[in-house]
Structure 1
Amino acid sequence: MSDSETGGGTGTPDKDYNLIWFAEACLSNVLRLEQYAQDADRAGDAELADFFRRAQRESSKGAEQSKAMLARRLQR
């Protein structure tokens, strides 16, 4: 992995792109984990459904934190 950050491909510094990617990945995870939790509910596996919902809440937190950080950085 390179120590330099060029942003040449996107015109955006890699660290900003990485933050945007992370927010999107977390939000995508929230949606996917909801489906997994519903699948577990349908199968009658409350323990697994609870596990996926806890993971979903953590992904949601990650999305919110990255969105807040991005907003602060864009205001500079």
Structure 2
Amino acid sequence: MTTHPPDSPVKDPDYDLVRVLEESLRNSWRMAAFVQDAAAAGDAELEEWFSKIQYNSLKAGEQGKRLLAARLQRQLELEPE
């Protein structure tokens, strides 16, 4: 049985982009705490794993920021003066 996640509450791709951007950066911030906890506990395996997740989340966040900036710039250029 396949389940599908609920639809976005707002049918707006820019809203979805902002939400994913926010979640990516929040996850990166959360992972930083987990990396520190693992390091303090001497658990190199978890420290490395959390660090990789943090890197990927931060990378996604940075990509999202660039994408959002480009989309907003295009919208501004299309708006009549």
Q: TM-score, normalised by structure 2?
A: 0.76
Gaps of 5+ in 2: 1-5, 75-81
Q: Distance in 1 between matches of 2:29 and 2:72?
A: 26
Gaps of 5+ in 1: 8-12
Matched, 1:17 2:15: yes
> CA shift at 1:14, angstroms?
1.6
Percentage identity across aligned positions? 44
**Higher alpha-carbon Rg:** 2
SS of the equivalent of 1:22 reads: helix
C-alpha deviations, 1:14-64, integer Å up to 9, x for none?
210010111110110011001111111111101110110111000001001
The residue identity in structure 2 corresponding to 1:32 is: R
Q: Distance in 1 between matches of 2:16 and 2:34?
A: 26
Tell me how many residue pairs correspond in the alignment.
68
Q: TM-score, normalised by structure 1?
A: 0.81
Correspondences of 1:55-66 after superposition (within 5 Å): 55-66=53-64
